[in-house]
Structure 1
Amino acid sequence: MEIDKNSLVPIYEQVMDYIKKKIEKGEWKKGDKISTEKDLMELFDVSRGTIKKAISLLVEEKVLTQKQGKGTFVIDENISFPLAEGLISFSESMKSQGIDFETELINLEKKKADEKIAEQLKINVGDDYLFIERTRTVHDEVVMFIQNNINIQLAPNIDTADYAHESLFNIVEKYSEHKVAYSETSFAAVPSTKTISELLHIEENSPLLYQEQLVHLEDDSIIELGRVWLKSNKFYVGSILQRL
């Protein structure tokens, strides 16, 4: 693209327009790193000050974001988790927002229930349950760590499912032959532990959003205890409440 230096449109605005069009066409997607200031200077044959002004204004408009020592990126919108739109899993919520993500299965094993797990899943101490650990990545950034504790008494052979590619709720409904009905869910702000910090590639004691939920089937039985740790700068929980 050539800059029209005789145009009444300021040069920095022409640079801004170029960047916006690259994003609109999908050439630069959410989370992508854009060209360096030096490359843009050479492309348009303009000063560094002009490029800096264009980028600075696009940062103010929340089109771009700058990461110290890494460069300038197309802003990656926060991921919404709407509470008032029915019971959906995080994967279902992200898919509905058009967000591409990858799931990595870290651990899957049968464990014996201790008193706490037995009480929460309504099973006997010593009964088998399925313990799963996974992470989710968006634009090459790990954004959440998930632990699932599944009552395998209610879903035989559920340990054979593909937890890296299928929605947990779909798996549960398939193997239990019952619909997921409702959950008891709580949220809290917590500091990251050493283990979770390593998985999320953040500093220890960084602020996280923590979700814990008990998932019930249509017959009221408890199928799963889920725990999720989310980067607080990537997620927000929203709800629309009506005044009575």
Structure 2
Amino acid sequence: MNKFNEISLEIQAAIINQIYLPGDLLPSENELSKKHEVSRETIRKALSLLLENGYIQKQQGKGSIVLDIKRFDFPISGLTSYKELQTAQHINSQTIVSSNIKMNLPSSLAERLRLPESTQVIYIERQRKVDGEVVILDKDYLLTSVISDMPNKAAQDSLYSYIENELGLVISYAQKEIIVELATSEDQRLMNLYDDTHVVVVRSDVYLEDTTLFQYTESRHRLDRFRFVDFARRKNPNEPK
């Protein structure tokens, strides 16, 4: 095994065993070079492996920052609010409501949803901070024909809790699309992406029990912190339909 591989695995084990904690700075290339009695080039190769595998993040002027390797599970199927996930998985999170306004549906969304451009919506934009860093940007468009108002307090806490418990509506199903896209200038401005060039985007058209469309949501996620999971069961092709 190459020396840089050995060093990479040794540092990886130290991160897994919490000798280095999330947010810690690794020793400098110089210090690691002396410790392992190798060249700085070998250390750079070891750090590159750790970077590629999601254990560290390089930040100019600081060095190598240890990442939280625990990724939170976001189910692909099912409709679960962020608040419910936060509670279930004990996520240390804070929500910042950066926008809560009434507006016309943007033309691109009107075309996607097959609605008139004059359709009125409440636009809610929320930054999700996890352990002090904004790693999710949520953008929600609520049709005012169904939901006439959304208090800031409810937007900060849980849209779905307010819709179900205060308005008495039954949220039933969604059509979802999950894609990796280039990060936009808005993503770079509103999220802590560092050198990331892409984000995971989850787009959902959400419907009530009576099949009324009431929400379009776009959730933009930093790549390193989340994984999307589902349970799949294979259907025997020979079983009668």
Output the TM-score relative to the length of structure 2: 0.68
Q: How does 1:9-24 map to 2 (within 5 A)?
A: none
Q: CA deviation at 1:210?
A: 0.8
The aligned amino acid for 1:209 is V
Supply the RMSD in Å over aligned alpha carbons. Answer: 4.0
Partner of 2:74: 81
Counterpart residue number, 2:24: 33
The alignment partner of 2:122 has SS state of: strand
Identity rate, percent = 20
Indicate the residue corresponding to 2:41 in structure 1.
Answer: none
For the 8 Å contact 2:139–2:218, the answer to whether it is kept is yes
The aligned residue for residue 227 of structure 2 is: 236
For 2:154, which of 162, 167, 172 is the aligned residue? 162
Distance 1:224 1:90 in 2: 15
Structure 1 unaligned spans of 5+: 1-15, 38-46, 51-55
Decide whether aligned partners of structure 1 residues 191 and 66 sit closer, same or farther in structure 2, where only a CA change above 3 A counts.
closer
- Any conservation in 2 of the 1:33–1:71 contact (CA below 8 Å)? no
Q: Which residue of 2 aligns with 1:210?
A: 201
> Is 2:161 the partner of 1:176?
no
Q: Deviations over 1:72-128 (max 9, x none)?
A: 7664132221224x3102332233211111111111110023555456667654242
In 2, Cα distance between equivalents of 1:72 and 1:97: 27
Q: Which residue of 1 aligns with 2:140?
A: 148
The residue number in structure 2 matching 1:3 is none
Describe the shift of the 1:204–1:149 C-alpha distance in structure 2 as closer, same or farther (beyond 3 A): farther
The alignment partner of 1:91 has SS state of helix
Contact 1:207/1:232 (CA < 8 Å) preserved in 2?
Answer: yes
CA distance in 1, matches of 2:111, 2:151: 21
What is the one-letter code of the residue matched to 2:148?
A: P
Structure 1 match to 2:88:
96
Which one has the largest radius of gyration? 1
TM-aligned CA deviation for residue 148 of structure 1: 0.5
In 1: Cα distance, 2:228 partner to 2:219 partner: 13
Aligned residues: 211
User: Does the 8 Å contact 1:104/1:136 carry over to 2?
Assistant: yes
Give the conservation status (yes or no) of the 8 Å contact 1:144–1:200. yes
CA–CA distance in structure 2, aligned partners of residues 113 and 65 of structure 1: 40
Instruction: Flag as ranges the 4+ runs of structure 1 deviating above 4 A.
Output: 34-37, 47-50, 64-69, 71-75, 114-125
Cα separation, partners in 2 of 1:229 and 1:170, compared to 1, 3 Å: same
